Amino acid sequence: MSKRARLEAQRDGADAIAFPGEVASRSGEAEVAKVMAGQEKLFQARRDALRGKKDQFNQQMGQLNEQIGGLVSQREAKERQLTLIADEVTNLRKLQKQGLVPVSRVLAMDREAARLDGERGELIANRAQAESRIGEVKIQILQIDEQARAETLTELRDVESRVAELQERKLAASSRLSRMEIKSPIAGDIYQVNVHTIGGVIAPGEAIMLIVPKGDDLVLQAQVMPQDIDQVAVGQHARVRFPAFVSRTTPEVDATVLQVSADTSRFDANTPPFYSVRIGISAKELERLGDNLLKPGMPAEAFIQTEERTPLSYFLKPLADQIAHALRET
């Protein structure tokens, strides 16, 4: 991440590296601070190297500009000399026509004018070459930036590809780590821990431990005899007591029937059949137990409230059942 920040700063021509927050926040760590300092040194060294190259070319441009200035001065001097010679040649020609000066002197002045004109042309050509060289130097300066930018972009693409690869590997490692950690969906007390080895292999469907939730509703598994099941339905009120606690100081708690099994069950062939009934106790009701802590497997007695019956019905119902049975037999 630090290297990518440096390359991005080089690409954008920034004056300093803008480290990402996840790196800057850890600058107090020795290893992270060392990496950041190293990247800053590389950034400064590269910037100094580029400036050094540009300074060399700028010096060449300065020298060429001075050379051009000298050539311009020389050309102007030659042009002034040519002007003077042209005037002198004009005068000499007049005198030569009058026979006052020989022809050789006029020809000598013409040769001098031709020489000066040639030197002026050479100065103009030299100036053009110097200006062309300045253009080449400017292009070289631009190429320095373009080449450095291209190298930075290439390196940045490699770094970003590497970062993407490492991020994928990090996600895969995090996924593997998350599968190695088993987290309970609820808070509570742990019982019957079956796995004690760190890093051990757990078979599919294997029970690891039992967790009794804290601050949550409690569900009891009750048994109802077949002859009483017709009086039990979901939503009925029930009272629950716990024989393991002192009955004098432990109150009964209110509960509600949550589920009634569709068929009977039995523990083995020698035990009578029963219906499984799930009875729920709210967390608020559990608070009434005070310091009495419930544990898995603790026995409980549930009294499910059925329809109200008069004392007379207790005497008449057996008689009515016998009459109904006698009528079916006849």
What CATH code is carried by the domain that includes residue 223? 2.40.30.170
Q: Which residue has the higher pLDDT, 107 or 10?
A: 107
Claim to verify: residue 48 and residue 118 sit in the same structural domain: yes
Burial degree of 123 (CB within 10 A; 0-12, 13-18, 19+): buried
Q: How confident is the model at residue 210 (pLDDT cuts 50, 70, 90)?
A: confident
Predicted confidence (pLDDT) at residue 330 exceeds the cutoff of 50: no
pTM for this predicted structure: 0.42
When the pLDDT of each residue in the chain is averaged and rounded to a whole number, the result is 82
Query: Do residues 198 and 235 share a domain?
Result: no
Q: Which residue did the predictor score with more confidence, 33 or 222?
A: 222
Is the pLDDT at 131 greater than 80? The verdict is yes
The arithmetic mean of pLDDT across residues 316-324, rounded, is: 59
What pLDDT sits at residue 37? 83
Residue 278 shares a structural domain with residue 195: no
Best-predicted range by mean pLDDT among 94-108, 208-222, 274-288?
274-288
Q: pLDDT per residue over 49-58, tens digit each?
A: 888 888 888 8
Q: Which residue has the higher pLDDT, 7 or 134?
A: 134
Task: Compare 119 and 198 and report the one with higher pLDDT.
Answer: 119
Instruction: Tell me, yes or no, whether 86 and 141 share the same domain.
Output: yes
Residues 271 and 312 in one domain: yes
Residues 174, 194, single domain; the answer is: no
Confidence at residue 91, expressed as pLDDT on a 0 to 100 scale? 87
- Binned at pLDDT 50, 70 and 90, residue 260 comes out as very high
Q: What is the mean pLDDT of residues 128-133?
A: 88
* % of the chain with per-residue pLDDT over 90: 10
215 band by pLDDT with thresholds 50, 70 and 90:
low
pLDDT of residue 185: 78
Q: Answer whether residue 41 shows pLDDT above 60.
A: yes
Does residue 136 sit in the same domain as residue 202? Answer: no
Query: Are 112 and 245 contained in the same domain?
Result: no
Q: Is the pLDDT of residue 101 over 60?
A: yes
pLDDT at residue 325 is higher than 60: no
Residues 221 and 207 in one domain: no
Tell me, yes or no, whether 314 and 240 share the same domain.
yes
- For residue 113, what are the domain limits? 2-180
Q: Which of 43-47, 98-102, 278-282, 310-314 has the highest mean pLDDT?
A: 278-282
Query: Bigger pLDDT: 239 or 179?
Result: 239
Number of domains in the chain: 3
Do 10 and 111 share a domain, yes or no? yes
One domain, residues 44 and 174: yes
- Write out pLDDT tens, residues 135-151: 888 888 888 888 888 88
